[in-house]
């Protein structure tokens, strides 16, 4: 739980260019302390995703995301990649579209557009929430499972 709070703080502060020490201080001030080594690992992972997010989002759909733009980390699932993106979800009851950060795991490194379409298919099948429809998904970043 504390690590999840720390990761939310990192996601919020890393784009501002705040130093690692400043972000760790903010995490501790929020009372979400966990191992410093894990904090630094989260900072590297999230920082890499943020650093290359604009490059990835501006890629054409038929381009493959370069390995150098992926953050290497130990994934919690036995897959090669974890793909993050912005999902536009339509609430059919209200007609409201919300943007949510979603992710999925895969072993296949495919073209950006193919991975975005794969997520739409996965969302439709596995995340079938009544009265919600995924209208769009755009990749923001990719994690590579370290040593997998």
Tens of pLDDT, residue by residue over 9-25, are 888 888 777 888 888 88
The answer to whether residue 55 scores a pLDDT higher than 90 is: yes
Whether the CB-CB separation of 83 and 53 falls below 8 Å is answered with no
Q: What pLDDT sits at residue 63?
A: 95
Q: What percent of the chain has pLDDT over 70?
A: 95
Look up residue 7 and give its two tokens.
């990761």
Model pTM?
0.75
**Average pLDDT of 2-15?**
84
Q: Average pLDDT, whole number, for the chain?
A: 87
Other CB atoms within 10 A of residue 148 CB: 12
Least confident of 32-36, 62-66, 135-139: 32-36
Q: What pLDDT sits at residue 129?
A: 67
Nearest C-alpha neighbor of 115 from the set 127, 103, 99, 100: 103
Could you give phi then psi for residue 47, rounded to 5 degrees? -60, -40
**Run of H or E including 137:** strand 132-145
């Amino acid at each position: 739980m504390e690590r999840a709070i720390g990761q939310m703080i990192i996601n919020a502060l890393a784009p501002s260019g705040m130093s690692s020490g400043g972000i760790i201080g903010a995490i501790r001030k929020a009372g979400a302390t966990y191992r410093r080594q894990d904090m630094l690992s989260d900072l590297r992972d999230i920082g890499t995703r943020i650093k290359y997010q604009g490059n990835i989002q501006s890629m054409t759909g038929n381009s493959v995301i370069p390995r150098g733009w992926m953050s290497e980390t130990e994934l919690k699932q036995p897959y090669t990649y974890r793909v993050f993106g912005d999902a536009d979800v339509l609430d059919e009851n209200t007609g409201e579209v919300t943007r949510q950060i979603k992710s999925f795991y895969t072993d296949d490194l495919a073209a950006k557009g193919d991975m975005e379409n794969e997520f739409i298919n996965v969302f439709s099948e596995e995340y079938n929430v009544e009265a919600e429809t995924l209208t769009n998904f755009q990749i923001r970043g990719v994690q590579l499972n370290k040593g997998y």
